[in-house]
Amino acid sequence: MKTFVGLFFTSTGFGLAILIAYWFIGHEETTGTVLLAIMTSALAFAATYAVIAERNARLDGDGEKLTPEDTKGEDLGIFTTQSAYPILVALSVLFMLLGILYSPLLAFVAIVALLLCLWRLGAESARI
Amino acid sequence: MIEWFTATDHKKIGIMYIVATMTFFVAAGILAMMIRAQLARPDNALLSAQLYNQIFTLHGTAMIFFVIAPFGLGLANFIVPLQIGAPDMAFPRLNATSLWLFILGGIIMFLGFATYGGASANGWTNYAPLSEISEGTGAGNDFWTIGVLMAGVSTILTAVNLTTTVFLLRAPGMTMWRVPIFTWEIVATSLLILMAFPSLTAVLFMVLIDRHLGGHFFDPVYGGNPILYQHLFWFFGHPEVYVMILPYFGIVTEVIATFSHKPVFGYVGLVLAAFAIAGLSIGVWAHHMFTTGAVSNPFFSAVSFLIAVPTGVKFVNWIGTMWKGSLEFTTAMLFSLGFLFNFLLGGITGVMVASPPIDYQTHDSYFIVHHFHYTLGGGSMFALFSALFFWFPKIFGVRLNETLGKWFFWLMFIGFNLTFLPMAFMGIEGMARRVYTYPNVEHLALLNGLATAGGAIMGIAFLLFIANVFISAFANVPVPSNPWGGYSLEWATSSPPPEHNFETLPPITSRRPALDLMNT
Ligand SMILES: [Cu+2]
């Protein structure tokens, strides 16, 4: 098992332990129990996903004896260095939140802008 | 200029995080100076009560959400990919989105001062039902909520990005058990963020729903429950203090090991302690709610005490790393040693207030202000400056002036302790926090006078730091790739690194690849 999968499993186990302890000691208090239960199930989901993801992952970083020579010419994909969409997404989120509070029209425009930016961002990252 | 706004390179994003957090730091520092000016004398009326409330609210919120926490993650943005030999973060566009959500969030929060009724005045905890009463907390509180909401979402996205990067993008040979401690602390921090921060997003949306869309989550008149707010807030809020300390534990570890010229003592112990602290911190949130009488005090007290154990392990490791090493007292090292001293004091008062009887006595007093400034100011902030002096040559390609740096350290160290040590005694003498003035009883006038003098010294010290940055930048002496004899991988590339981080990656066969490279 890879270290990071183990990490997610340990975290889930830990969440479960705290949940059970809290259940027995603080039983009159449901808010905390529910919060811990939600947190633990989210961790369990992440741990399960990690197991599935691990199956077809081959990580150079886990090869103790691997050197950069061995992985020469391997395709790492492209790391973009410029994109205008992140800042536009952030601006749309800001105006969406302001719109929800003060102006339905602004909220509508901002949501449209946000969806448009996310769509273009997705298209941009699919292109390369 | 425009290329900075659209940059997705992790190094540019890291630099923008550092510049943005330092800008917010200056703003929050000016607010702190105003607080100290108002409290310099008893019965002072320099600031009105309402303005004072706004000032301490934005000081606290800015330091927590827009300085200490994002500086750690922003620094990680620059350093972690270099430490593990990755060409960039796993999701560069997501990374840029996080950055801009964070910056815009900080700006909108500060814009609260420009609104009718002023900025939020509810303290950084924004407790309901106070935060739901519209009078006096108009648009300023909405701006505050939106700003913190955006910073919180930004933090979650950064955590996803950092975990993915460390798990999947390590260079050949860089196994998890060879990754530097700073990167490990960032992994622990990120997992903690993923567990705790969704609760913050939820609770802030609930406040907005209550304020604007007719909800009554926290309003007892309509069957809501104000204690629910405290649960949701502190479920995030306590882990947040570890999000503000774990990255700085990492910084201190790297700096101490580098300037002791020895390998890290007890590497595995440090990693396990980081995860033990992160895990335990999930089970202590209601130690902030002892006095509500609505939580199980024995449970939360016991788990809080337990955190002292892994923290103690870390202290043993730091001292073990220095033991019999050839210590080199650079400015970065001095700040890390200052961290050890201050954080130890903050930790001890932390253990004290984890005990409900002491907490009942000191709750909402200056004793608490003393406690958390020793952990986050004397702790995290000192480690922040340690990191700046340590990695400045790597990030900007110039070294900061060491003589000015040492002056800066000693002034900060004296100023800090002069400001915050008296607060313990103010608290014991009954001075309440978040109150804009105090009567001339007991020794409050003397203690507050000392604290204000200490604040002034810290202000002067910081001006010295700014001067240092400009003087060093103008001197512009180029630095070699490894100016300190550092051991981790970032010291194996040029200063500053090229666009794709490494012209050639060295082989990684141990925990100290940069030293291996120097020795071959
Ligand atoms: Cu706490």
Question: What's the confidence (pLDDT) of residue A53?
Answer: 80
Q: What is the C-alpha separation between B499 and B137, in angstroms, rounded?
A: 47
B459 with B401, same domain: the answer is: yes
Count of residues making up chain B: 520
**Residues A50 and A8 sit within 8 Å (Cβ to Cβ):** yes
Q: Mark yes or no for CB contact A57/B235 under 8 Å.
A: no
Task: List the CATH number of the domain containing B427.
Answer: 1.20.210.10
Full domain range(s) for residue A103: 78-128
Reading the block at residue B63, the tokens are 């330091």
Reading the block at residue B178, the tokens are 């060879």
**B282 CA from centroid of ligand 1 (Å):** 10
Q: pLDDT at residue B419 above 70? A: yes
Q: Mark yes or no for CB contact A62/B175 under 8 Å.
A: yes
Reading the block at residue B28, the tokens are 């929050």
Which residues from B are below 8 Å from A10, CB to CB? Answer: 275
A2 with A31, same domain: the answer is: yes
pLDDT band at B69 (very low <50, low <70, confident <90, very high): very high
Q: Mark yes or no for CB contact B299/A36 under 8 Å.
A: no
A-contacting residues of B 71-100, CB under 8 Å?
84, 87-88, 92-97, 99-100
State the average pLDDT over residues B378-406: 93
**Residues B226 and B475 sit within 8 Å (Cβ to Cβ):** no
Q: pLDDT at residue A23 above 60? A: yes
In this prediction the pTM is 0.94
B54 with B156, same domain: the answer is: yes
HSE, side-chain direction, 13 A CA sphere, residue A112: 5
How many Cβ atoms from other residues are within 10 Å of residue B361's Cβ? 15
Q: pLDDT at residue B136 above 60? A: no
Q: Mark yes or no for CB contact B505/A61 under 8 Å.
A: no
Residue B48 class from Cβ within 10 Å (0-12 exposed, 13-18 middle, 19+ buried)? Answer: exposed
- In chain B, pLDDT over 70 holds for what percent of residues? 99
Question: What's the confidence (pLDDT) of residue B389?
Answer: 95
A65 with A100, same domain: the answer is: no
B323 with B430, same domain: the answer is: yes
A45 with A70, same domain: the answer is: yes
CA dist list (Å): B1 to A70, B6, B20, B97, B102:
40, 9, 15, 18, 19
Whether B5 and chain A come into contact, CB under 8 Å, resolves to yes
B438 with B402, same domain: the answer is: yes
State the average pLDDT over residues B99-114: 94
How many Cβ atoms from other residues are within 10 Å of residue A127's Cβ? 7
A19 with A52, same domain: the answer is: yes
A124 with A111, same domain: the answer is: yes
A21 with A68, same domain: the answer is: yes
Question: What's the confidence (pLDDT) of residue A30?
Answer: 83
Full domain range(s) for residue B3: 1-241
Interface mutation target, options A59, A60, A79, A80, chain B, most CBs of B under 10 Å: A79
**B267 CA from centroid of ligand 1 (Å):** 27
Q: Which of A28-37, B326-335, B411-420 has the lowest mean pLDDT?
A: A28-37
- In chain A, pLDDT over 90 holds for what percent of residues? 32
Q: What is the C-alpha separation between B128 and B231, in angstroms, rounded?
A: 11
**Residues B62 and B24 sit within 8 Å (Cβ to Cβ):** yes
Query: For B267-302, what is each residue's pLDDT tens digit?
Result: 999 999 999 999 898 888 889 998 888 888 888 898
State the average pLDDT over residues B426-435: 92
How many Cβ atoms from other residues are within 10 Å of residue B205's Cβ? 17
B80 with B216, same domain: the answer is: yes
Determine the distance from the C-alpha atom of residue B489 to the mean position of all C-alpha atoms in its chain, rounded to a whole number.
Answer: 25
- In chain A, pLDDT over 70 holds for what percent of residues? 94
pLDDT band at B134 (very low <50, low <70, confident <90, very high): low
Least Cα separation, residue B103 to chain A (angstroms): 9
B231 with B324, same domain: the answer is: no
State the average pLDDT over residues B185-198: 93
CA dist list (Å): A92 to A112, A126, B73:
9, 22, 24
A67 with A96, same domain: the answer is: no
Give the one of B9, B99, B299 whose C-beta lies nearest to A25's C-beta: B299
- The number of domains in chain B is 3
**Residues B462 and B29 sit within 8 Å (Cβ to Cβ):** yes
Q: Mark yes or no for CB contact A82/B100 under 8 Å.
A: no
Measured between CA atoms, the residue of chain A closest to residue B170 is A61
**A37 CA from centroid of ligand 1 (Å):** 20
Please give the DSSP secondary-structure letter assigned to residue B400: P
Determine the distance from the C-alpha atom of residue B280 to the mean position of all C-alpha atoms in its chain, rounded to a whole number.
Answer: 19
B161 with B251, same domain: the answer is: no
Query: Which of A74, A90, A119 is the last residue in one of the domains?
Result: A74
- The number of domains in chain A is 2
Q: Which of B18-32, B134-148, B155-169, B470-484 has the lowest mean pLDDT?
A: B134-148
Question: What's the confidence (pLDDT) of residue A127?
Answer: 66
A1 with A64, same domain: the answer is: yes
Q: What is the C-alpha separation between B31 and B29, in angstroms, rounded?
A: 5
**Residues B197 and B154 sit within 8 Å (Cβ to Cβ):** no
**Residues B458 and B411 sit within 8 Å (Cβ to Cβ):** yes
B374 with B387, same domain: the answer is: yes
Q: In this complex, how many residue pairs, one in chain A and one in chain B, have their CB atoms less than 8 Å apart?
A: 172
Q: Which of B143, B172, B175 is nearest to B54 (CA)?
A: B143
HSE, side-chain direction, 13 A CA sphere, residue B133: 9
Q: Which of B305, B177, B285 is nearest to B235 (CA)?
A: B285
Query: For B233-254, what is each residue's pLDDT tens digit?
Result: 999 999 999 999 999 999 999 9
Average per-residue pLDDT for chain B: 91
A50 with A105, same domain: the answer is: no
B408 with B464, same domain: the answer is: yes
A69 with A90, same domain: the answer is: no
**Residues B280 and B307 sit within 8 Å (Cβ to Cβ):** yes
Measured between CA atoms, the residue of chain A closest to residue B293 is A29
B196 with B92, same domain: the answer is: yes
A12 with A64, same domain: the answer is: yes
B341 with B217, same domain: the answer is: no
Least Cα separation, residue A105 to chain B (angstroms): 16
Q: pLDDT at residue B135 above 60? A: no
ipTM computed for the complex: 0.92
Q: Please, which residues bridge with residue A82 across strands?
A: B7
A124 with A88, same domain: the answer is: yes
Q: Mark yes or no for CB contact B170/A61 under 8 Å.
A: yes
